[in-house]
Structure 1
C-alpha cells in the first residue's frame, strides 16, 4: 500500500463534436502521483498538469484528436504527462459536473445523481438528532468498468424516480448511509454488472463508499493556518497561509444493530484534538512539521489521527482547490 501520494487538478475549457453536435465543456484533469513519480511536490504536479492541458485550453478538440471522447482525451493527457516526465498512479477527467472517466488499477466511468429524501434512524441512542425525522439532499456517485455515462444514467433512472421526494424508511428499516449503499448496490448490480464502487454523500461534509464488500466513511474538516515552506527559493519560502481542507476516511466493520461503521459525530469528535492543534497556528513551528509543506502535513495528520482513531484509513489534505497530498497511517 502507498503511504503518500501527491494530488493535483487543473481546469481547462474546450469545445468538441461527439455525436450530438458542437458543444463546450469545463474539463477538469485530476492526477495522483507518488513522490518518486516525477514531480517534486504537489505544486510541481499541478504545474505539470497545467502545462499539459494548456495546448487544449480554448481549442476545438476535434482539430487535435480524431476521437475527442472522454476516454481518448484522458489517454492523450496521460501520454503528455508521461512525456513530460510525470508517471501518474491515477488519472481522472471530469467532462461535466456529473460525469467523467478514470484510469488507474482499472479503467472506469463515473456519473453522479442527486435526490432529495427524508429519513430517520430508529436504533440510535435516545436524544440523537438522527432519531428524529429529517432529510438530506443526497448525492450518489456510481463508478463502473465497461460502462459510459448514458448506461449509468439508464441503470439509475428507475431508482432516482422512486427515491426522489420520498421517505427512505419506506424502503429500508434503518436507512443509514452504509445501508443505503448496500441497498443501492443490490438494486444496481444486475442492471450494471461492471459496477465497482458507489458513493453516498449524505451532506457536503460526510459520505460513505461501498464496493460490494467493505464500507469506508469520510468526514470533511477545515482549518486555517500559516506556514513557511523550507527549501524552495520561491514564494512558498515566505510566510503565508491557507484554508486547509481535510477528508478523514475511516474503515470499520458494520455495526449490525446501529447500521453504520461509526457515527459521523464520533469521527469528528475523535479528530477534534488534531484539528485544534493546527487551527489558527503557524504549522512550521509545530514539532514534526518544520518543513511546512502539505505532504508533511498530511503524513503528520495521518499519524496523529490514527492514535485517536484506530479505524482511520487515510487522510486527504488540500491547501488549495484539488492540490495537496493523500496519506495513509504507518
Structure 2
C-alpha cells in the first residue's frame, strides 16, 4: 500500500475584483472584494527544506511571499479574468515549490476552487440547514437514539477538466441544484423524509448524491458535516468519515539551525483530523461510530494533549510530518479503517499522511 506524505500551507490575502465573463446582471460583475485564502498541497522532496522538519514553515513562507503580490490589489490589474480558477493558476505559476499536487483559492469560507497540474478543477460550495434526527438502530442508551438536532453543513464538490477555460461551473450553478433539497431539509425532522428513516451522516450523504448526480454529472463528492468535528464524504461508491480533535502541545525542532526561533521551546494549538474508510453497515446505517473512533484513539491523544511533544519516545522530531508518522505507528491495529491523518500546527498549515486506496486527493 503506497504511503504518501503531503505538506499543506495556507495564506490569506485581501483583494478586489470584477469577473466580467459572468452573465449580465450577475453581482460579481461589479467591483467587489473578498478575504481570499490561497492553499497549496505538495509532496516535497526530502532535502527541500533548510533542515529536516522545516517543511511546513518553509512552504508556508513561500506561499505567503507569493500571494503578497495580490494582497490589497485590484486583481483585474494582475490578470484579465480573476476567477478563483485563474487565481489558482496564477499562484501555481508564481510559486517556486517542487512537487505541487494542488493549488486552491477560496474566495469565501463557503466556496473555492482547487486545481491540479492537469488543469482539473475541484470546485466546491458549502450549504447549511437546521434539522432534527434520531438514529433508531443504535444500541440502547446511545445518545443518538434520542431525538436531537444539528446545524448540518453540506459541501458539494464538482470535478471538471477546464482545458484552459477561465472557469467551469459557477458557484451559483451549485446553488441552483441544491435549492430544492435545501427547501426539503431545512427546519425538518430528517426521519420523516422518504428514505431517510435512519438518517446517519453516511445515509444522508448518499441520499443527497442520488438526487443530485443525475442533474449535476460533474458532482464528485458530497460531504456532510453532522457536527463541527465529524462527518462523512461520499463519492457514489466509497464512504469516508472523519473525526476532528484539537490538542495543545509544546516542542522544540531540534534539527533547526542555530539562531532559528523554532529551536526554542514553543507550542501550538493543533488541529488533528482522522479519516477512516469502511463499508456501510446497512442496519446501523453508519460505517463507524464517531464516538468509538474518539475512544479508540484516546490512548494516543492522551500522550499528545498538554505534553511536550519532542519528548515522545520513538519520535524523530516534533514537526507535523514526523508526528503523523508517529501517530500511525502508535495507534497500530486499533483503528484498522484509518487511512489518513491530517495535522495542522497553525490554521491550514501542516501535513497529511495518506496510505489508503483512495489516495491523498480526497477533499478535507
Question: Normalising by the residue count of structure 1, what TM-score does the alignment of the two structures yield?
Answer: 0.96
1:317 aligned onto 2:317: no
> What is the aligned partner in structure 2 of residue 131 from structure 1?
145
Q: Tell me what 2:254 maps to.
A: 230
Q: CA deviation at 1:16?
A: 0.4
* 1:1-330 alignment runs, 5 A limit: 1-19=2-20, 20-36=29-45, 39-40=48-49, 41-81=55-95, 84-104=96-116, 106-146=120-160, 147-171=169-193, 172-233=196-257, 234-328=260-354
Aligned residues: 328
Q: Distance in 2 between the 1:170 and 1:39 partners?
A: 55
**Cα deviation digits, residues 247-299 of structure 1 (max 9, x gap):** 01111110011000000000000100000011221111111224121210111
For the 8 Å contact 2:157–2:222, the answer to whether it is kept is: yes
3-state DSSP class of the match of 1:307? Answer: coil
- Unpaired runs of at least 5, structure 1: none
Q: 1:2 offset after TM fit, Å?
A: 4.2
CA distance in 2, matches of 1:2, 1:61: 39
Runs (4+) of structure 1 moved beyond 6 Å? none
Identify if the C-alpha distance between structure 1 residues 306 and 165 changes in structure 2 by more than 3 Å, giving closer, same or farther: farther
Alpha-carbon shift at residue 326 of structure 1 (Å): 0.6
Q: CA deviation at 1:313?
A: 1.3
SS of the residue corresponding to residue 111 of structure 1 reads strand
Contact 1:37–1:86 (CA under 8 A) maintained in structure 2: no
Give the drift of 1:42: 1.0
C-alpha distance in structure 2 between counterparts of 1:70 and 1:241, whole Å: 34
Q: Matches of 1:2 and 1:14 in 2, distance apart?
A: 38
Give the CA RMSD over aligned residues: 1.5
Contact 2:44 2:99 in 1 (8 A): no
Contact kept? 1:306, 1:312, Cα under 8 Å: no
Residues 123 and 131 in structure 1, CA contact (< 8 A), matched pair in contact too: yes
Q: Verify the 8 A CA contact 1:12 1:27 in the aligned structure 2.
A: yes
Between structures 1 and 2, the one with greater helix share: 1
Q: Say whether the 8 Å CA contact 1:32–1:88 is kept in structure 2.
A: yes
Give the secondary structure class of the aligned counterpart of 1:316: strand
Offset from partner CA, 1:215-235 (integer Å, 9 cap, x none): 000001111111110221211
Deviation string for 1:106-140 (max 9, x for gaps)?
Answer: 42211100000000000001111111110000010
Is the contact made by 1:206 and 1:218 (CA closer than 8 Å) also made in structure 2?
Answer: yes
Are the aligned partners of 1:299 and 1:328 in contact in 2 as well (CA < 8 Å)? no
Gap change, CA 1:73 and 1:37, over 3 Å in 2: farther
Shift of residue 145, structure 1, vs aligned partner:
2.5
SS of 1:325 mapped into structure 2: strand
For 1:196 and 1:290, locate their aligned partners in 2 and report how far apart those are by CA, in whole Å.
38
Give the distance between the partners of 1:282 and 1:274, measured in 2 at CA. Answer: 14
2:69 aligns to what SS in structure 1?
A: helix
Report how far residue 39 of structure 1 moved.
Answer: 4.8
Distance in 1 (CA, whole Å) between partners of 2:354 and 2:332 is 9
Question: Please, what TM-score do these two structures have when normalized by structure 2?
Answer: 0.87
**Counterpart-to-counterpart distance in 2, 1:55 and 1:148:** 26
Aligned residues of 2:44 and 2:98 also touching (Cα < 8 A): no
Gaps of 5+ in 2: 21-28, 50-54, 161-168, 357-364
